[in-house]
């Protein structure tokens, strides 16, 4: 079983850059998307159920903003869309889908930058982290859960190309990194780092100055596994050569018996 996460930076935009061809060849059973940026009725019909996938989307109240979606080969047994905080829920940043015993959490974690890139939204961002942590905590050590998406935080220095220059930049401030560490300390496993300890692996690159070609990036997209889910994780990958967005897809391969985990 293969599960993907990808911030597509606009589903309609990435569809013009080969998304459906990538999806067809991805062998993904679940494909979680962030920053869909469109309500379902404005998503072209050929993207509703491409190549036999079922599409599940939620959109923000603000037009052309945020939004998350899932493409699945199997219909979810249930989907939860809310954290219970109106200021967060109106931005459509969350889907929690259950497939048998497995829960897949698709999250588009807020950016901490304000309108003037002044870090003013860091408290809002941390609120999302903390509410989601609290929501999942009761089941975290009992159930197989994957939390995936654009976390908008580079956890360690190895997770961005230029850590010294970005210590005051949202996404790498101490308080944001500490909140990410709280998840890891509680037992969530960074699946990619479980398999790959080396540097130079990133999931987002600025669209300016040709930095992607130079691999001057940040690793801000993750798939975290609860301890019970981690037992079934066979591989974790970043796919930097997949183009179409300023982010690239990430994935995990699972033993499909996770759906029947006890």
The secondary structure element, H or E, covering residue 95 is strand 94-99
Which residue of the set 29, 150, 159, 190 is catalytic?
A: 150
CB 100 within 8 A of CB 143: no
> At 42, phi and psi to the nearest 5?
-105, 0
Please name the residues in contact with 67: beta carbons below 8 A apart, sequence gap of 6 or more.
34, 35, 36, 37, 38, 39, 57, 58, 59, 60, 92, 108
CB 97 within 8 A of CB 56: yes
Q: What count of other Cβ atoms lies within 10 Å of the Cβ of residue 75?
A: 11
* 3-state class (DSSP) for residue 137: helix
Rounded to whole angstroms, how far apart are CA atoms 239 and 202? Answer: 9
Question: For residue 122, how many C-alpha atoms fall within 13 Å in the half-sphere facing its CB?
Answer: 19
Closest among 227, 215, 159, 241 to 191, alpha carbons compared: 227
The secondary structure element, H or E, covering residue 175 is helix 174-185
Rounded to whole angstroms, how far apart are CA atoms 190 and 184? Answer: 7
Please name the residues in contact with 154: beta carbons below 8 A apart, sequence gap of 6 or more.
160, 163, 166, 171, 172, 177, 218, 219, 220
Quick check: is 150 catalytic?
A: yes
**Residues tagged active-site:** 150
């Amino acid at each position: 079983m293969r599960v993907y996460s990808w911030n597509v930076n606009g589903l309609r935009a990435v569809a013009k850059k080969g998304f459906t061809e990538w999806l067809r060849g991805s062998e993904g059973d679940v494909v979680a998307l962030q920053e869909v940026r469109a309500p379902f009725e404005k998503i072209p019909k050929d993207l509703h159920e491409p190549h036999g996938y079922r599409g599940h989307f939620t959109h923000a109240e603000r037009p052309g903003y945020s939004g998350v979606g899932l493409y699945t080969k199997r219909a979810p047994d249930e989907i939860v869309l809310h954290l219970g905080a109106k200021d967060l829920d109106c931005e459509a940043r969350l889907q929690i889908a259950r497939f048998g015993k497995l829960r897949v959490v698709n999250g588009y974690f807020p950016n901490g930058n304000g309108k003037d890139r002044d870090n003013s939204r860091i408290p809002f961002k941390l609120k999302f982290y903390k509410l989601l942590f609290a929501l999942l905590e009761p089941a975290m050590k009992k159930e197989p859960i994957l939390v995936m998406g654009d976390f908008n935080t580079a956890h360690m220095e190895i997770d961005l190309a230029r850590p010294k220059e970005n210590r005051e930049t949202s996404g790498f401030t101490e308080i944001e990194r500490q909140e990410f560490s709280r998840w890891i300390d509680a037992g969530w496993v960074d699946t990619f780092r479980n398999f790959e300890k080396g540097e130079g692996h990133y999931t987002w690159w600025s669209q300016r100055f040709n930095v992607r070609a130079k691999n001057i990036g940040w690793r801000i997209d993750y798939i975290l596994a609860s301890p019970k889910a981690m037992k079934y994780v066979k591989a974790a990958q970043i796919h930097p050569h997949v183009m179409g967005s300023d982010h690239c897809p990430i994935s995990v391969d699972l033993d499909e018996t996770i759906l029947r985990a006890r």
